[in-house]
Amino acid sequence: MHFAIIGKHTSLSLIELDALIASSNDTEIIKNNIVVFSTNRSEALNILGGTIKSGRVVDESALEPILAEHTLLGTADLTKAKQFKKEHASIRRFKEVPLTHADMDIKKKWIELINLWKGKWGVVENYQNIWLYEAIDFNKPSSGMNIGMMPSKLAHILITIATEITDPKKHTVRDPFCGFGTTNFLANAHGYNTIGSDIKIAEAKRNHKRWTQQEYFSAQQKMTFFKHDVLDAFDKPFLNHVDYIVSEWRLWPTVSHKTRLPALDTNVIKISEIYKAFFENILASQKTLSKLKKIVITVPEYQEYNETQVADILEKFLIEKELSHTFIEETYARKKQKVGRKILIVVL
């Protein structure tokens, strides 16, 4: 058995994790953010973006040889930590580690144990790679969340949902609204070939130069950026290599507490038309996009707005076009953010 500590966007994290779970019958949420499950792909747990920590489940009686190999112990259960220190001469120090906290020192030098339930412990083997996100987000402007730049962690989760963590060397991820290149750099870091396009690509190309100097850069994988409007045909020959599309069109136009209802109504209509044109182009380019398997994109959703949303309009459109699709019920939004994100999955 294995366990995972998932983030606050539960539904999104569980859908990502589902690719690695052997059977839904072997899955149990034992606490609000702790999931226990069976998997035959444990080596891929360290790739997940929506999982803060993960590892294997062991009986407390099996901890003795594990503790004997370490001198530093991290855990949220300080009572047990004191007991282990008394019982195991090898343990010299212990440190309190919150369940949802990833600590670089713990990852590098310590062993972290999580008290799952009576007699069962989680041995942490994998941590969410927040250091990768920092490397990608370093040069983004501070206003990024206001103008709709996809957070690196969200882009990571969407990539793994799209690809289901298949062999990256054989697949290509495309972002047709690449912006600063976030999705492309994450796909590259995880070993995928990647193609990015947008109506303006100067920022992506500039960031690409910086990305090639990062420790996470994979020089073996192809990375291409080109200028393209999604309202135009997808007719470039190299697009026939694309297996997955993962993207976010900017959460435009910027809204604030001063934005009035008529403006939001107009925004919904304009944005919906762009998404519909995008999917029309996908359908019209099926010969070029012959390998395309899945599209995972975000759709803006206005908070505290009770009228028809973009997702409502797209739902009807996708049904009309007979496209197999799912909107994740949960909205990805931060506190005080006026525009959230609905996640749309389209299987071709």
Beta carbons of 123 and 258 less than 8 angstroms apart: no
DSSP string, 276-317: HHHHHHHHHTTTTTTT--EEEEEEEEETT--S--HHHHHHHH
Closest alpha carbon to 12 in 150, 131, 159, 114:
159
Beta carbons of 271 and 302 less than 8 angstroms apart: no
pLDDT attached to residue 147? 46
φ/ψ (deg, to 5) at 132 = -65, -45
pLDDT attached to residue 143? 46
d(CA 38, CA 3): 8
Per DSSP, 232 falls in state S
pLDDT attached to residue 160? 95
Global pTM reads 0.91
Which tokens is 250 given?
A: 């900017």
d(CA 235, CA 244): 16
Query: Beta strand 93-96 with 72-75: parallel, antiparallel or unpaired?
Result: parallel
Residue type, 3: F
With a cut of 50, list the residues of the chain below it in pLDDT: 142-147
pLDDT attached to residue 333? 87
Return the SS3 of 133: helix
Closest alpha carbon to 156 in 72, 4, 52, 280:
52
pLDDT attached to residue 144? 45
